[in-house]
Amino acid sequence: MDFENTSNLSQPPGSGIPGIPPSPQPMPNAGGKNSKGSGWKIFWGIITAMSVMANGLFFLILIGMAFFIAAGSEKKVSEEVIKEGPRTAKIAIISISGIIDDRQAKDFHWQMKTAREDSAVKGLIVRVDSPGGTIAGSDEIYNEIKKYRSEKGKPVVAFMQGVAASGGYYSSVACEEIIAEPTTITGSIGVISAYLVVKQLLEDKLGIQPVIVKAGAKKDWPSSFEPPTEEQLQYLQTRLIDPAYKRFVEVVADGRKELTAEDVNRLADGSIYWAQAALKEKLIDEIGYQDDAIEKVKSLAGIEKAQVVEYHRTVSLYEILSAKTNASLKFDQKTLYELAMPQLLYLWTGPQ
């Protein structure tokens, strides 16, 4: 008797039985690996794109910085409207503030250039709040005002605030009229010079012995390495102080027609004057405020209405970067020379 072979009954259908295809076997979960791989590809693609964009932006910033630095040497002046009026009739306010030096004179030049090129400007107010400064800087500002009045034939009024003394007054007399606030200190017509004698400091404290080699007996007069003799002081008085003083007196006499030569010589002893005293001595024309100066310019220009603007120098990126670069204190041969060189100044050195 034949018995059936039941050994294959427990096997799933088609698992090796002839004529029946095998059942599909479960495959490893390859889909999970593909999903993870695609995620990493997307992530790194985003990172790469962001990096490219950042590099591109950085490159554009570098180009922009190079452009501004290249253009930074050109001074530019911005204009702020402080009193509304017709744009076809402007009064421009130009400021002299703080110590007058080479930079102050250059800033003033660029502001005057802006006014000169604007045909709508009918007159100027030179606002002065300065104790003075270098002779050269004061004279450059004075010349800019005189040149503008001569070329344009437009009124220029000085408006004094705070302290407008020495070089500040020197600059003001170039204007057609002078108005001062009641609390203004002005005058100080005179010249001063000072320098340091460092002989004892170098020799006794630091053990440094200066060596001077020269041709010409007066070549090193005055010297910071030797106390001045009476002959040297008289030499400085004759060659430096007196000519600078004479120039100041001549400028005041030319600018203040109300004063005689004797009046100017009497006033030119370095004295300072409160506004009321200055008015009495005819050093100024009027006591008032900025609105009074505006009305004075309109009257002199023959206009009833005007837009009043104030000029400001625009600081460039080049200057900002240069200031940071030069921020550290440097003491070199040039600095030593500048400290030793006598400074000839139209400057009031009293309390500010």
Q: Which residues are catalytic?
A: 166, 219
Under 8 Å between Cβ of 58 and 89: no
Burial 316-345 (b: 16+ CB within 10 A, else e): bebeeeeeeeeeeeeeeeeeeeeeeeeebb
Angle value at C-alpha 184, between 179 and 186, nearest 5 degrees: 85
Residue 126's nearest CA partner among 104, 76, 136, 134 is 104
CA–CA separation, 127 and 294 (whole Å):
11
DSSP helix/strand/coil, 321: helix
Beta strands in 102-260 (DSSP E): 121-130, 132-134, 156-165, 177-180, 185-187, 192-194
Under 8 Å between Cβ of 341 and 220: no
